[in-house]
Amino acid sequence: MQYGWDGDTLAYESTNLYTKHYIYESGSFVPLIQATYRQQINQHQTPVWEHGYDYDKNPLWHTEQKANPFDRVWFYHCDHLGTPQEMSDQTGAIV
């Protein structure tokens, strides 16, 4: 299992089979959405710059990455304190 953080909030968790993203209310810890797709997250590897930095060899400037579409999306329903109380799917059904 691989975890990714955005400051103090969990941004994603990924295995060989799936990746799950977490989206929060702006500037808070209140969760809004949990979304998954069936693929491991693709991360850039840190290049080794033995001979100094070269713009033409920097993989971050030369990528054609496309966002993976989400297979499933769930919505958090939180109370006035931001504590999750329920979760629903795209149809509005409580899961």
The tens digit of pLDDT for each residue in 11-23 reads 999 999 999 999 9
**Would you say residue 72 has pLDDT above 90?**
yes
What pLDDT is attached to residue 85?
98
**Contact assessment for residue 40 and residue 15, using Cβ atoms and an 8 Å cutoff:** yes
- Name the residue ranges covered by the structural domains of the chain: 2-41+56-88
Q: Is 53 helix (H, G, I), strand (E, B) or coil?
A: coil
**Would you say residue 84 has pLDDT above 80?**
yes
* Environment class of 64 (CB within 10 Å of its CB; exposed 0-12, middle 13-18, buried 19+): exposed
> E strands along the chain, which residues?
2-6, 9-14, 19-24, 31-37, 72-78, 84-88
